[in-house]
Chains A and B, each alone.
Chain A
């Protein structure tokens, strides 16, 4: 199974001054399940198409194992029909004039696989993808999910070392998405294929991939496991792009010292934050309580939005707004006052260029942690606060 490496890969479309893909270097190891994640128009599909060979690069290099398949420097370009890389299109691109079976065995016929073997492999992959019963139907007679399975089967039949998927779940409805997600993970395990897929949807990326490469404006932002990307976003873009509800971003520099706002609260609490341009906290990391202390902020509950099993609470402090999310049923009502604590170890700091700042360990304050976040904290066994005063 091959390793794919991109070196300084760049793509400029004719007439565009800004490159669509800008100096992207990354390596996809054998057997990896990687997602290229980013907002629409960030160049992720272009990368996928360049790996497949449907698009060619402007500069840089693509290599499969040690074989260079596209390089301007070496004046080399291997066309898609010779690369043996599978590609599943976003809208599946099934051939409307062929039955499901003909769609699936098209690649095998081209490889001149003997009829008997072709039949067997075809049946095998169709039964694995559970489309055997539709073998004689035409694509237009299938549902979206079935069409996608045919598109997958068509690629898997020729047993490519690498499978590229363009937005694999985006055209499916909620139930099918879950089903297909399981299907893809199962495929990855049974076939052992290297899979690279593209998504603008973080849920899709988080739930499927082992590795996520976050992209923005043609540039690679961060590569890491889903957990890494979520817990330690490398810059403001990644922090804000990942997470739902969105991370709370608090600008630190724009506030004057006499103003009463969250920024000043943080600046007053943490000396080091003065080097930072902005500070951010995930909604679920905010701790709410009825009790106040020096490290808490008195906030008003503006809005409680149930999202089915969890709740998003909009908090206000002066003109500032924060979103908090929780798995437990809120005990406050809209319009009530509550005290919010922003734990120091949950705060992310970013400098002027938007890069992550790492604060010295000593400043992380482990003392001020709520152990209980609901009104039941008033119960006798609760001892949440250590008063610093």
Chain B
């Protein structure tokens, strides 16, 4: 046995040899190839549309030659000036911007206050009916936001808008515009929708909190108030911040609610302003507005990144002691349940009941027996002009439902698998740059409102470019757009799942002699079946609820449930439209229940990622 202390100085291999060796190594690591392919794919699918929006704001659009005195396609600052500095920029940008921020900030403040209180009640007190509320309080988040908006108009609609009157109106009570439309109902509905998110995220943090930390404070003689404010609150602060930013960002891009409730009183947000600009063929202005929304998104994201960095200092290992010590509410036990019950009543029971009643009433707001009918659901040979059968007997409805399942289903499936592949490539790729590029690019759609994204897709894929044929009017464009818009969630959950899995199960399979295909099909995908199912179902639910992509990209032959219900609304078949909306809510709710069956607390965890 020889003793080797200093090995002989060896000539460093030259770059060429090293490169060839790296290639020999990389040849057996398909993650590199997958990473590169995905990077190119997403560059085209995500980066190209986003860039095209940004570029559009500096390029003379078709039809604007006369205004700008320039040729189509040449560089111009006209749109920037028009949107930011002209006489109408107040209407185009500043007022909508103010409204958007106003709505987002108010929603964050109110939903956080109510949500934290409810999260505490559900997780840390002996409130009556705790277990039931833990599920019931989450339901508003499973329903599309515009379900509430439609329920609201059903009750509060006044004479400002034509069509069938609201219930209160028919009962002889005139509602003022400020109650029926605009800021108040929009914030009210968004608060209803996002409070469950706070309950989920903050509740999760509360449950995960190591009880020993509180016990230590208690042993040192700290009263409950001190424990709450100097131990618990600082520790759940990261969760609070992430919930707040998530809600803020979502509110900025919210389209359906302000579209339904803001338009009648010309209360514009950036998203509806963008839609209006697109609708009136002002693509350049639309591009500038989209740019502004993206900037707000980037700022929110930067704050989030900053906060997360700070939050990491708080991360503590352990936390085995589960929180079974509940605070006794005493005399407040029933009032607390009353508070939670009121939330369920306003957030779930009333809107759904209203919508359901509206579908079985011939004339709105007239509560007499002969006014009730199930014709709008199952009637046939009705004396209406177009819709001669109840929606459950209308082929168009089932066609739209089928389209929804196929289009949203396949796009969720694709994005779920792509998300897992992105996670795989990000963690395994030998080239650092590819990994971080993938990580960032798949997150980009989060910053772009669906409406803007859809517009960009329209301009990019409506005509044939290179090898890709014109896609407008085909389900393909909807599927691609949905996939791209769901990638932020899909890639994040894919990366999280692959990080949690680690490299070793796969390395062990390599050692056992498995090639890449066997490793994928026999090890990675079976182990990741749960996360993958969640990663498919969550985008499916949010896809079903989504409006903005469809409203731009769908045509009657690719009708989905959302566009079908909006079209019914346009034709004033309110009852049938609301019936379709109820069916959407039902599908979304069933899907969510399915997720929770598959993966315990999947929803809460998925949302936090």
A interface residues, Cβ below 8 angstroms from B: 8, 14, 23-26, 52-54, 56, 58-60, 71-73, 75-77, 79-82, 84-87, 89, 91, 93-97, 106-107, 110-111, 154-155, 158, 211, 220-225, 234-235, 355
B600 within 8 A of A: no
Given A59-B10, A59-B12, A111-B513, verify A75-B1 contact (CB < 8 Å). Answer: no
- Which of B1, B18, B508 lies at the interface centre, i.e. has the most chain A CB atoms within 10 A of its CB? B508
CB of B425 to closest CB in A, whole Å: 17
Q: List residues of chain B with CB within 8 A of the CB of A60.
A: 10
**Contact of A220 with B4 in the complex, beta carbons under 8 Å:** yes
Residues of B within 8 A of A80 (CB): 507, 510-511
Contact of B2 among A71, A89, A223 (CB under 8 A): A223
Contact check, B510 vs A23: say whether CB atoms are below 8 A apart.
no
- Cβ of B225 under 8 Å from chain A: no
Residues of A within 8 A of B468 (CB): none
Does B7 touch A at the CB level, under 8 Å? Answer: yes
Contact B508 A93 (CB under 8 A): yes
Q: Which residues of A contact B507 (CB under 8 A)?
A: 54, 80, 87, 89, 93
A154 and B512 in contact, given A72-B18, A73-B13, A93-B507 (Cβ under 8 angstroms): yes
Q: Which of B325-372 contact A (CB under 8 A)?
A: none
Closest Cβ–Cβ distance, residue A43 to chain B (whole Å): 14
Assuming the contacts A56-B25, A77-B28, asked whether A222 and B511 have C-beta atoms less than 8 A apart, the reply is no
A93 to B512, CA, bound (A): 12
B27 contacts which chain A residues (CB < 8 A)? 77
In the complex, which residues of chain A have a beta carbon less than 8 angstroms from the beta carbon of B529? 97
A310 to B13 CA separation, bound complex (whole angstroms):
53
A120, B254: Cα distance in complex, Å? 63
Indicate if B526 sits at the interface (CB-CB under 8 A): yes
| Listed residue (A93, A107, A223) with the most chain B CB atoms within 10 angstroms of its CB | A93
Residues on B with C-beta less than 8 A from A96 are 505, 527
Chain A residues with CB under 8 Å of B518's CB are: 110
**Is A95 a contact of B28 with CB atoms below 8 Å?**
no
* Complex partner residue of B1 from A54, A89, A223, CB under 8 angstroms: A223
Within the complex, which residue of B8, B25, B513, B523 is in contact with A8, where a contact is CB–CB below 8 Å?
B8
Task: Find out whether the CB atom of B432 lies under 8 angstroms from the CB atom of A75.
Answer: no
| Cα A223 to Cα B4 with chains together (Å) | 8
Q: How far is the CA of A93 from the CA of B505 in the complex (A)?
A: 5
| Cβ-closest chain A residue relative to B502 | A93
Q: How far is the CA of A308 from the CA of B515 in the complex (A)?
A: 52
- 7 other contacts beyond A54-B507, A111-B513, with CB at 8 A cut-off? A72-B17, A75-B24, A77-B25, A84-B513, A93-B507, A106-B509, A222-B3
B21 within 8 A of A: yes
B117 at interface by CB-CB < 8 Å: no
The answer to whether B69 has its CB under 8 Å from any CB of chain A is no
CB-contact partner of A54 in B5, B511, B522, under 8 A: B511
B67 CB–A CB distance under 8 Å: no
Q: How far is the CA of A169 from the CA of B380 in the complex (A)?
A: 76
Residues of chain B lying within 8 A (CB to CB) of residue A234: 3, 5
Say which residue of A23, A52, A76, A220 sits within 8 Å of B10 (CB atoms): A23
7 sampled A-B residue pairs with Cβ under 8 A: A23-B10, A75-B17, A75-B20, A94-B505, A110-B512, A155-B511, A224-B3
Find out whether the CB atom of A23 lies under 8 angstroms from the CB atom of B17.
no
Contact partners of B18 in chain A: CB under 8 A: 58, 72
Contacts of B513 in A (CB 8 A): 81-82, 84, 107, 110-111, 158
Min Cβ gap A119→B in Å is: 17
Nearest residue (CB) in B for A222 is: B3
Partner of A110, one of B3, B24, B432, B514: B514
* Alpha-carbon gap, A82 to B432, bound state (A): 26
Instruction: Say if the beta carbon of B383 comes within 8 Å of chain A.
Output: no
Contact call B7/A87, Cβ cutoff below 8 A: no
B324 within 8 A of A: no
Which residues in B have some Cβ–Cβ distance to A below 8 Å? Answer: 1-8, 10, 12-13, 17-18, 20-21, 23-25, 27-28, 432, 504-505, 507-515, 518, 522-523, 526-527, 529
Set B21, B508, B509, B523: member contacting A77, Cβ < 8 A: B21
- A155 contact set on B, CB distance < 8 A: 511-512
Interface of B is mostly: helix
Shortest Cβ distance from residue A265 to the other chain B in the assembled complex, whole angstroms = 31
> How many angstroms from the CA of A355 to the CA of B5 in the assembled complex?
10
What's the Cα separation between A331 and B432 when bound, in Å?
64
Given the known A-B contacts A59-B13, A72-B18, A97-B527, are A223 and B3 also in contact in the complex, defined by CB atoms under 8 Å? yes
CB-CB under 8 A from A53, the residues of chain B are: 510
Write the nearest CB–CB distance from B142 to chain A, whole angstroms.
Answer: 30
Complexed CA–CA distance, A8 and B10 (Å): 8
Provide the bound-state CA to CA distance between A25 and B7, in Å: 7
A84 CA / B4 CA spacing, docked (Å): 28
Chain A contacts for B7, CB-based, 8 A: 8, 23-25, 220
Contacts of A89 in B (CB 8 A): 504, 507-508
Verify A25–B24 contact, CB threshold 8 A: no
Q: Chain A's nearest CB lies how many Å from the CB of B506? A: 9
Q: From residue B285, how far is it (CB to closest CB) to chain A in Å?
A: 46
B512 to chain A, nearest CB (A): 4
Q: Which residues of A contact B515 (CB under 8 A)?
A: 81
Contacts of A79 in B (CB 8 A): 28, 510
> Which A residues touch B20, using CB under 8 A?
75
Alpha-carbon gap, A224 to B5, bound state (A): 13
Given A23-B7, A81-B510: A211 and B25 interface contact (C-beta under 8 Å): no
Q: Is the CB of B510 within 8 A of A95?
A: no
Complex Cα spacing A111 to B529, Å: 26
Asked whether B1 lies within 8 Å of A211 as measured between CB atoms, the reply is: yes
CB nearest neighbor in A for B503 = A54
Given contacts A23-B10, A77-B28, A80-B507, contact A107 B17 (CB under 8 A): no
* In the bound complex, CA of A71 to CA of B511 (Å): 19
Query: What distance in Å separates the Cβ of A346 from its nearest Cβ neighbour in chain B?
Result: 21
Is B21 in contact with A71, judged by CB distance below 8 angstroms? yes
Task: Determine the chain A residues whose CB is within 8 A of the CB of B10 once the complex forms.
Answer: 8, 23, 59-60
- Which single member of A8, A107, A235 contacts B512 (CB below 8 Å)? A107
Q: Once the chains are docked, how many angstroms separate the CA of A60 from the CA of B526?
A: 38
**Bound: A25/B20 CA distance, A:** 23
Q: Is the CB of A93 within 8 A of B504?
A: yes
Partner of B523, one of A52, A81, A95, A355: A95
Q: Which residues of A contact B21 (CB under 8 A)?
A: 56, 71-72, 75-77
CB distance from B192 to the nearest CB of A (A): 40
Q: How far is the CA of A211 from the CA of B4 in the complex (A)?
A: 14
Contacts of A222 in B (CB 8 A): 3, 5
A370 vs B432: C-alpha distance in the bound complex, in angstroms? 65
Residues of A within 8 A of B25 (CB): 56, 77
The residue in B10, B18, B511, B514 that gathers the most chain A C-beta atoms within 10 A of its C-beta is B511
Q: A86 vs B510: C-alpha distance in the bound complex, in angstroms?
A: 10
Residues in B whose Cβ lies below 8 Å from that of A25:
4, 7
Residues of B within 8 A of A107 (CB): 512-513
Task: Report Cα–Cα, A223/B2, bound state, in Å.
Answer: 7
Q: A73 CA to B505 CA in the complex, in Å? A: 31
Chain B CB count within 10 A is highest, among A76, A89, A225, for A89
B156 to chain A, nearest CB (A): 53
B511 touches A87 (CB 8 A): yes
B324 to chain A, nearest CB (A): 24
Residue of B nearest to A79 (CB): B28
Report how far A77 CA is from B1 CA in the complex, Å: 28
Closest Cβ of chain A to B24, distance in Å, is: 4
Which B residues are CB-close (under 8 A) to A106? 509, 512, 514, 522
Q: How far is the CB of B31 from chain A (nearest CB, A)?
A: 13
